[in-house]
Amino acid sequence: MSSRITKDEFNRLRNKKRKFNAIVTLASSAAIIVVLAICIVVFNDRPTDSEFSSNMHVGSNTDLDTESIFNINNGTQTPSDSSGGANVADKPWDVASSTDVTFYPESDYQEFVIPETSLPPVEEIKGNDWCASMYEKVDKVMPLSYFDNTVLIGDSRTEGLVLYSGLNNINGFCYKGLNVSSLDSDSCITMPGYGGKYTCYQAISMTSYDNYYCMFGINELGWYSLDVFIEDFSALIDYIKLANPNATIYVEGVIPVCRSKEAEGGVFTKDRVEEFNALILQMCKERNDVIFLDVGAAVRDEEGYLPEEGSPDGIHCNADYCKRVLQYIRCNTYSRKQSDDL
Protein backbone atom coordinates (compact mmCIF):
# COMPACT_ATOMS: atom_id res chain seq x y z
CA MET A 1 0.00 0.00 0.00
CA SER A 2 1.25 3.45 -0.86
CA SER A 3 2.34 5.69 2.11
CA ARG A 4 1.60 8.92 0.23
CA ILE A 5 -1.26 11.06 1.58
CA THR A 6 -3.90 12.68 -0.52
CA LYS A 7 -4.18 16.43 -1.04
CA ASP A 8 -7.27 16.57 1.18
CA GLU A 9 -5.49 14.80 4.02
CA PHE A 10 -2.52 17.16 3.66
CA ASN A 11 -4.75 20.24 3.88
CA ARG A 12 -6.53 18.77 6.90
CA LEU A 13 -3.23 18.16 8.71
CA ARG A 14 -1.93 21.62 7.76
CA ASN A 15 -5.03 23.32 9.11
CA LYS A 16 -4.77 21.29 12.33
CA LYS A 17 -1.15 22.38 12.74
CA ARG A 18 -2.07 26.02 12.13
CA LYS A 19 -4.75 25.82 14.83
CA PHE A 20 -2.24 24.25 17.25
CA ASN A 21 0.34 26.96 16.51
CA ALA A 22 -2.29 29.66 17.03
CA ILE A 23 -3.22 28.20 20.43
CA VAL A 24 0.47 28.04 21.45
CA THR A 25 1.02 31.64 20.36
CA LEU A 26 -2.05 32.85 22.25
CA ALA A 27 -1.00 31.01 25.42
CA SER A 28 2.54 32.41 25.18
CA SER A 29 1.22 35.95 24.76
CA ALA A 30 -1.04 35.54 27.78
CA ALA A 31 1.88 34.26 29.86
CA ILE A 32 4.03 37.24 28.84
CA ILE A 33 1.25 39.66 29.80
CA VAL A 34 0.88 38.03 33.24
CA VAL A 35 4.64 38.21 33.86
CA LEU A 36 4.76 41.88 32.82
CA ALA A 37 1.82 42.69 35.12
CA ILE A 38 3.56 41.01 38.06
CA CYS A 39 6.77 42.94 37.35
CA ILE A 40 4.89 46.23 37.27
CA VAL A 41 3.18 45.51 40.59
CA VAL A 42 6.45 44.46 42.27
CA PHE A 43 8.30 47.51 40.93
CA ASN A 44 5.61 49.94 42.08
CA ASP A 45 5.49 48.29 45.51
CA ARG A 46 9.25 48.60 45.96
CA PRO A 47 10.10 50.95 48.86
CA THR A 48 11.48 54.34 48.03
CA ASP A 49 15.03 55.27 48.95
CA SER A 50 13.82 57.23 51.97
CA GLU A 51 11.63 54.36 53.15
CA PHE A 52 14.48 51.89 52.72
CA SER A 53 16.80 54.17 54.65
CA SER A 54 14.23 54.52 57.44
CA ASN A 55 13.64 50.80 57.64
CA MET A 56 17.38 50.14 57.89
CA HIS A 57 17.14 51.42 61.46
CA VAL A 58 15.03 48.46 62.49
CA GLY A 59 16.71 45.69 64.44
CA SER A 60 18.92 45.27 67.45
CA ASN A 61 20.85 48.49 66.91
CA THR A 62 20.45 50.55 70.06
CA ASP A 63 22.70 53.54 69.34
CA LEU A 64 20.54 56.61 69.89
CA ASP A 65 23.32 59.11 69.21
CA THR A 66 21.69 60.19 65.96
CA GLU A 67 20.66 63.36 64.25
CA SER A 68 17.23 64.75 64.99
CA ILE A 69 14.24 62.83 63.69
CA PHE A 70 11.49 64.55 61.76
CA ASN A 71 9.87 62.02 59.51
CA ILE A 72 6.77 63.46 57.86
CA ASN A 73 6.48 60.97 55.01
CA ASN A 74 2.70 60.99 55.34
CA GLY A 75 2.14 63.94 57.65
CA THR A 76 1.18 67.49 56.78
CA GLN A 77 3.62 70.24 56.03
CA THR A 78 3.29 73.82 54.86
CA PRO A 79 5.46 74.96 51.95
CA SER A 80 8.46 77.08 52.79
CA ASP A 81 8.14 80.83 52.37
CA SER A 82 10.76 83.10 50.83
CA SER A 83 12.39 83.67 54.21
CA GLY A 84 13.00 79.96 54.72
CA GLY A 85 10.13 79.49 57.12
CA ALA A 86 11.98 80.77 60.18
CA ASN A 87 9.35 83.38 60.97
CA VAL A 88 6.49 80.89 61.06
CA ALA A 89 7.07 80.32 64.78
CA ASP A 90 5.90 83.89 65.35
CA LYS A 91 2.53 82.84 63.94
CA PRO A 92 1.72 79.48 65.58
CA TRP A 93 -1.89 79.76 64.54
CA ASP A 94 -1.10 80.14 60.84
CA VAL A 95 -1.43 76.53 59.69
CA ALA A 96 -4.35 76.88 57.31
CA SER A 97 -2.09 76.42 54.28
CA SER A 98 -1.01 72.94 55.39
CA THR A 99 -1.41 70.30 52.70
CA ASP A 100 -3.89 67.47 53.10
CA VAL A 101 -2.75 64.25 54.71
CA THR A 102 -2.53 61.17 52.52
CA PHE A 103 -3.88 58.06 54.21
CA TYR A 104 -2.73 54.68 52.98
CA PRO A 105 -4.47 51.31 53.21
CA GLU A 106 -3.27 49.00 55.95
CA SER A 107 -1.75 46.67 53.34
CA ASP A 108 0.73 49.40 52.36
CA TYR A 109 2.57 49.07 55.67
CA GLN A 110 5.16 46.62 56.83
CA GLU A 111 3.94 43.87 59.09
CA PHE A 112 4.02 45.15 62.67
CA VAL A 113 4.96 42.23 64.92
CA ILE A 114 5.16 42.59 68.70
CA PRO A 115 7.96 40.25 69.86
CA GLU A 116 7.36 38.01 72.86
CA THR A 117 9.03 39.21 76.07
CA SER A 118 8.94 38.30 79.76
CA LEU A 119 6.04 40.74 80.17
CA PRO A 120 2.35 39.99 79.44
CA PRO A 121 0.91 40.85 76.01
CA VAL A 122 0.38 44.59 75.66
CA GLU A 123 -3.32 44.11 74.99
CA GLU A 124 -3.76 42.69 78.51
CA ILE A 125 -2.05 45.59 80.28
CA LYS A 126 -4.03 48.35 81.96
CA GLY A 127 -1.99 51.42 82.78
CA ASN A 128 -2.76 54.36 85.02
CA ASP A 129 -4.30 56.34 82.17
CA TRP A 130 -6.53 59.36 82.70
CA CYS A 131 -8.50 61.58 80.34
CA ALA A 132 -10.21 64.94 80.57
CA SER A 133 -13.99 64.95 80.82
CA MET A 134 -14.34 65.90 77.16
CA TYR A 135 -12.83 62.58 76.03
CA GLU A 136 -13.84 58.94 76.06
CA LYS A 137 -11.90 55.72 75.43
CA VAL A 138 -11.99 54.25 71.94
CA ASP A 139 -12.88 50.56 72.18
CA LYS A 140 -10.59 49.20 69.48
CA VAL A 141 -6.96 48.85 68.48
CA MET A 142 -6.15 51.62 66.04
CA PRO A 143 -4.80 50.60 62.61
CA LEU A 144 -1.23 51.47 61.70
CA SER A 145 -2.57 54.30 59.52
CA TYR A 146 -3.35 56.08 62.80
CA PHE A 147 0.27 57.24 62.81
CA ASP A 148 -0.16 59.00 59.44
CA ASN A 149 -1.45 62.12 61.17
CA THR A 150 0.20 61.67 64.57
CA VAL A 151 3.47 63.18 65.80
CA LEU A 152 5.66 62.10 68.71
CA ILE A 153 7.47 64.86 70.62
CA GLY A 154 10.32 64.16 73.01
CA ASP A 155 13.96 63.29 73.65
CA SER A 156 16.11 60.27 72.77
CA ARG A 157 13.55 57.86 74.18
CA THR A 158 11.06 59.15 71.63
CA GLU A 159 13.76 58.89 68.96
CA GLY A 160 13.86 55.19 69.73
CA LEU A 161 10.13 54.85 69.04
CA VAL A 162 10.65 56.50 65.66
CA LEU A 163 13.81 54.63 64.72
CA TYR A 164 12.88 51.13 65.78
CA SER A 165 9.18 51.02 64.92
CA GLY A 166 9.70 49.29 61.60
CA LEU A 167 7.06 51.62 60.12
CA ASN A 168 7.56 54.31 57.51
CA ASN A 169 4.80 56.62 58.73
CA ILE A 170 6.06 57.47 62.23
CA ASN A 171 6.47 61.23 62.64
CA GLY A 172 8.67 62.77 65.33
CA PHE A 173 9.88 66.10 66.69
CA CYS A 174 12.60 64.64 68.89
CA TYR A 175 16.27 64.90 69.67
CA LYS A 176 18.71 63.42 72.17
CA GLY A 177 19.07 65.64 75.21
CA LEU A 178 15.98 67.72 74.42
CA ASN A 179 14.05 68.93 77.47
CA VAL A 180 10.97 71.05 78.11
CA SER A 181 12.98 74.23 78.76
CA SER A 182 14.69 74.20 75.37
CA LEU A 183 11.74 73.60 73.05
CA ASP A 184 11.71 77.22 71.90
CA SER A 185 15.47 77.75 71.83
CA ASP A 186 17.32 74.63 70.62
CA SER A 187 17.34 74.50 66.82
CA CYS A 188 17.78 70.74 66.48
CA ILE A 189 14.84 69.59 64.34
CA THR A 190 15.55 68.98 60.66
CA MET A 191 12.61 69.02 58.26
CA PRO A 192 12.44 67.62 54.72
CA GLY A 193 11.91 70.38 52.19
CA TYR A 194 13.36 73.05 54.49
CA GLY A 195 16.95 74.18 54.88
CA GLY A 196 18.60 74.39 58.28
CA LYS A 197 17.24 73.27 61.63
CA TYR A 198 14.29 74.44 63.68
CA THR A 199 13.13 74.53 67.26
CA CYS A 200 10.40 72.19 68.35
CA TYR A 201 7.99 75.12 68.63
CA GLN A 202 8.76 76.17 65.06
CA ALA A 203 8.16 72.62 63.83
CA ILE A 204 4.80 72.61 65.60
CA SER A 205 3.88 75.92 63.96
CA MET A 206 4.84 74.76 60.50
CA THR A 207 2.75 71.57 60.54
CA SER A 208 -0.66 70.31 61.54
CA TYR A 209 -1.42 66.91 63.06
CA ASP A 210 -4.53 65.40 64.63
CA ASN A 211 -2.69 63.75 67.52
CA TYR A 212 0.32 64.91 69.57
CA TYR A 213 2.17 62.59 71.96
CA CYS A 214 4.53 64.41 74.34
CA MET A 215 7.06 62.56 76.51
CA PHE A 216 9.58 64.37 78.69
CA GLY A 217 11.07 63.82 82.11
CA ILE A 218 14.07 61.51 81.83
CA ASN A 219 16.46 64.39 81.11
CA GLU A 220 14.84 66.49 83.83
CA LEU A 221 15.05 63.95 86.68
CA GLY A 222 17.94 65.91 88.16
CA TRP A 223 16.19 69.28 88.13
CA TYR A 224 15.95 70.97 91.50
CA SER A 225 12.74 72.86 90.75
CA LEU A 226 9.97 70.54 89.66
CA ASP A 227 7.60 73.49 89.43
CA VAL A 228 9.66 74.79 86.50
CA PHE A 229 9.40 71.40 84.78
CA ILE A 230 5.62 71.39 85.11
CA GLU A 231 5.33 75.04 83.97
CA ASP A 232 7.43 74.38 80.88
CA PHE A 233 5.55 71.16 80.09
CA SER A 234 2.23 72.97 80.44
CA ALA A 235 3.53 75.75 78.17
CA LEU A 236 4.20 73.14 75.46
CA ILE A 237 0.60 71.99 75.67
CA ASP A 238 -0.61 75.59 75.43
CA TYR A 239 1.54 76.12 72.35
CA ILE A 240 0.20 73.05 70.58
CA LYS A 241 -3.37 74.12 71.33
CA LEU A 242 -2.64 77.60 70.00
CA ALA A 243 -1.21 76.19 66.78
CA ASN A 244 -3.76 73.37 66.33
CA PRO A 245 -6.89 73.98 68.45
CA ASN A 246 -8.64 70.80 67.33
CA ALA A 247 -5.72 68.46 68.02
CA THR A 248 -5.84 65.72 70.65
CA ILE A 249 -2.88 65.92 73.03
CA TYR A 250 -1.53 62.90 74.88
CA VAL A 251 0.88 63.56 77.75
CA GLU A 252 2.93 60.42 78.24
CA GLY A 253 4.27 59.27 81.57
CA VAL A 254 7.99 58.78 82.14
CA ILE A 255 9.11 55.26 81.18
CA PRO A 256 10.88 53.49 84.08
CA VAL A 257 14.58 52.62 84.28
CA CYS A 258 16.27 49.27 84.92
CA ARG A 259 17.35 48.08 88.36
CA SER A 260 20.96 48.08 87.17
CA LYS A 261 20.73 51.77 86.31
CA GLU A 262 19.25 52.59 89.70
CA ALA A 263 22.05 50.61 91.38
CA GLU A 264 24.61 52.97 89.84
CA GLY A 265 23.32 55.75 92.09
CA GLY A 266 22.12 59.20 91.07
CA VAL A 267 18.72 60.43 89.94
CA PHE A 268 17.74 57.50 87.72
CA THR A 269 15.61 55.68 90.26
CA LYS A 270 12.15 54.15 90.35
CA ASP A 271 11.05 56.57 93.09
CA ARG A 272 12.14 59.61 91.08
CA VAL A 273 10.31 58.38 87.98
CA GLU A 274 7.16 57.78 90.02
CA GLU A 275 7.45 61.25 91.57
CA PHE A 276 7.58 62.83 88.13
CA ASN A 277 4.66 60.75 86.87
CA ALA A 278 2.56 61.84 89.84
CA LEU A 279 3.32 65.49 89.08
CA ILE A 280 2.60 65.07 85.36
CA LEU A 281 -0.71 63.35 86.11
CA GLN A 282 -1.64 66.12 88.54
CA MET A 283 -0.87 68.71 85.87
CA CYS A 284 -3.14 66.90 83.40
CA LYS A 285 -5.99 66.72 85.92
CA GLU A 286 -5.69 70.41 86.80
CA ARG A 287 -5.74 71.37 83.11
CA ASN A 288 -8.59 68.94 82.29
CA ASP A 289 -8.01 69.29 78.56
CA VAL A 290 -5.53 66.51 77.73
CA ILE A 291 -5.02 62.77 78.14
CA PHE A 292 -2.44 61.21 80.43
CA LEU A 293 -1.12 58.01 78.89
CA ASP A 294 0.85 55.67 81.13
CA VAL A 295 2.96 54.20 78.31
CA GLY A 296 5.46 52.94 80.88
CA ALA A 297 2.94 50.24 81.81
CA ALA A 298 3.77 48.46 78.55
CA VAL A 299 7.42 48.01 79.57
CA ARG A 300 7.19 47.90 83.37
CA ASP A 301 7.60 44.72 85.42
CA GLU A 302 5.70 43.89 88.62
CA GLU A 303 8.15 45.88 90.73
CA GLY A 304 8.00 48.98 88.56
CA TYR A 305 11.27 48.60 86.67
CA LEU A 306 12.19 48.34 83.02
CA PRO A 307 13.37 44.72 82.55
CA GLU A 308 17.05 44.28 81.77
CA GLU A 309 16.11 42.39 78.59
CA GLY A 310 14.39 45.51 77.30
CA SER A 311 17.25 48.00 77.42
CA PRO A 312 20.88 48.25 76.28
CA ASP A 313 21.83 50.88 78.86
CA GLY A 314 19.20 50.80 81.60
CA ILE A 315 17.39 53.87 80.26
CA HIS A 316 16.47 53.48 76.59
CA CYS A 317 14.16 50.75 75.28
CA ASN A 318 15.48 48.39 72.66
CA ALA A 319 13.60 47.68 69.43
CA ASP A 320 11.34 45.00 70.93
CA TYR A 321 10.26 47.18 73.83
CA CYS A 322 9.82 50.27 71.63
CA LYS A 323 7.26 48.27 69.68
CA ARG A 324 5.47 47.45 72.93
CA VAL A 325 5.16 51.18 73.67
CA LEU A 326 3.74 51.86 70.21
CA GLN A 327 1.31 48.98 70.60
CA TYR A 328 0.14 50.46 73.91
CA ILE A 329 -0.53 53.71 72.08
CA ARG A 330 -2.60 51.86 69.47
CA CYS A 331 -4.59 50.05 72.18
CA ASN A 332 -5.34 53.17 74.25
CA THR A 333 -6.69 56.04 72.19
CA TYR A 334 -9.42 58.54 73.02
CA SER A 335 -11.91 60.63 71.08
CA ARG A 336 -13.91 63.73 71.87
CA LYS A 337 -17.39 63.14 73.17
CA GLN A 338 -20.32 64.40 71.20
CA SER A 339 -21.38 67.89 72.30
CA ASP A 340 -24.71 66.65 73.69
CA ASP A 341 -22.84 64.26 75.97
CA LEU A 342 -20.80 67.00 77.62
User: Which distant-in-sequence residues (6+ apart) come within 8 Å of 259 by Cβ?
Assistant: 305, 308
CB atoms within 10 A of CB 35: 10
Q: Quote the pLDDT of residue 210.
A: 97
pLDDT band at 224 (very low <50, low <70, confident <90, very high): confident
Residue 76 has pLDDT above 50, yes or no: no
Q: Quote the pLDDT of residue 196.
A: 86
Residues 103 and 23 in one domain: no
Residues 78 and 26 in one domain: no
- pTM given for the model: 0.72
For residues 213-236, give the mean pLDDT.
95
In a domain, 148, yes or no: yes
In a domain, 108, yes or no: yes
In a domain, 63, yes or no: no
CA atoms within 13 A on the CB side of 181: 9
Residues 25 and 72 in one domain: no
Residues 124 and 270 in one domain: yes
Residues 174 and 122 in one domain: yes
SS3 at position 179 = coil
How do residues 285-335 score in pLDDT, each as one tens digit? 999 999 999 999 999 999 999 999 999 999 999 999 999 999 999 999 999
Residues 11 and 120 in one domain: no
Residues 74 and 19 in one domain: no
Residue 9 has pLDDT above 90, yes or no: no
Give the domain range for residue 257: 68-341
Q: Quote the pLDDT of residue 107.
A: 42
pLDDT band at 41 (very low <50, low <70, confident <90, very high): very low
**Is the model more confident about 95 or about 290?**
290
User: Which distant-in-sequence residues (6+ apart) come within 8 Å of 82 by Cβ?
Assistant: none
Return the DSSP state at 293: E
Residue 201 has pLDDT above 50, yes or no: yes
* Structural domain count of the chain: 2
Residues 114 and 228 in one domain: yes
pLDDT band at 111 (very low <50, low <70, confident <90, very high): confident
Q: Quote the pLDDT of residue 273.
A: 96
In a domain, 44, yes or no: no
